[in-house]
């Protein structure tokens, strides 16, 4: 088929047929070559899959949020009447509460919000009879505490101690038990110039408030 004739034919398909039919006609008449995800390099394939998965996850998260937000009264009525949550609602509630809790704790750690939203998510979990895993929250708070203790020598020590107490109070309010061994170690011992005879950094005891704060939070680690 000559080019002008092909052009006119494809134009007619474009104006009268679905777009998928136009693509099929172009592939047939122009000798299209088909490629799939398997033809991409491994890194490109992973990047594409990560992008597609993120889009799907975002859409699913929005759907779950809508289901829970639109059915709060129903959820409350079900729990007040001692009726079990339907499985679909239970899955949606567990997912949303977990996401809200982790997001709220992350914002609290970053100093962008108080602990209120995290406590609200915890209260929703209790009210609707779901138990979100607290390990991600525990790990976030532990990492933040260790980072806070490690920053005592580069900033305002009093403010740093206050931040450590806020993190510990947050953990207590959320009923999360932190493993404070690493934070205690940083609180009690910090690097000094190298002790040439011992071949290791010298250590010195920090302010007692550090040790007391960490020791009161958890039985783990040195006392």
Q: In terms of C-beta density within 10 A (0-12 exposed, 13-18 middle, 19 or more buried), how is residue 22 classed?
A: middle
Residue 141, pLDDT score: 96
Q: Per-residue pLDDT averaged across 70-80, rounded?
A: 94
Answer whether 106's CB lies under 8 Å from 113's CB: no
Residue 182, pLDDT score: 80
pLDDT level of residue 197 (50, 70, 90 thresholds): very low
Rg (CA), the chain: 29
Residue 39, pLDDT score: 78
3-state helix, strand, coil in the chain (%, to 5): 70, 0, 30
SS3 of residue 191 by DSSP = coil
Structure tokens at 178: 């932190």
The pLDDT tens digits of the residues spanning 12-43 come to: 888 888 888 888 888 777 776 666 777 788 89
The pLDDT tens digits of the residues spanning 111-120 come to: 999 999 999 9
Inform me whether the pLDDT recorded for 150 exceeds 70: yes
Residue 22, pLDDT score: 82
Between 204 and 175, the higher pLDDT residue: 175
pLDDT level of residue 128 (50, 70, 90 thresholds): very high
Q: What mean pLDDT is reported for the chain? A: 81
Answer whether 129's CB lies under 8 Å from 85's CB: yes
Residue 154, pLDDT score: 62
DSSP 85: P
pLDDT level of residue 218 (50, 70, 90 thresholds): very low
How far apart CA 99 and CA 82 sit, in angstroms, is: 25
- Angle, CA of 40, 46 and 50, to the nearest 5°: 130
Half-sphere CA count of 209, side-chain side, radius 13 A:
12
Residue 32, pLDDT score: 62
């Amino acid at each position: 088929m000559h080019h002008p004739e092909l052009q006119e034919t494809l134009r007619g398909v474009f104006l009268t047929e679905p777009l998928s039919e136009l693509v099929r006609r172009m592939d047939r008449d122009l000798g299209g070559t088909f490629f799939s995800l398997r033809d991409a390099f491994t890194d490109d394939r992973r990047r594409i899959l990560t992008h597609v998965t993120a889009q799907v996850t975002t859409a699913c998260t929005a759907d779950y949020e809508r289901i829970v937000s639109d059915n709060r009264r129903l959820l409350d009525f079900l729990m007040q009447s001692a009726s079990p949550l339907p499985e679909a609602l239970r899955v949606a509630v567990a997912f949303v509460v977990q996401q809200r809790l982790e997001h709220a704790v992350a914002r609290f750690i970053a100093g962008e919000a108080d602990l209120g939203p995290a406590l609200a998510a915890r209260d929703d979990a209790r009210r609707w009879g779901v138990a979100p895993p607290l390990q991600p929250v525990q790990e976030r708070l532990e990492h933040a505490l260790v980072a806070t203790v490690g920053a005592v020598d580069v900033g305002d020590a009093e403010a740093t101690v206050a931040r450590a107490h806020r993190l510990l109070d947050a953990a207590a309010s959320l009923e999360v038990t932190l493993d404070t061994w690493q934070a205690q170690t940083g609180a009690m011992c910090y690097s000094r110039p190298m002790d040439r005879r011992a071949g290791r950094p010298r250590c010195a005891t920090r302010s007692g408030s550090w040790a007391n704060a960490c020791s009161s939070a958890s039985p783990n680690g040195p006392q």
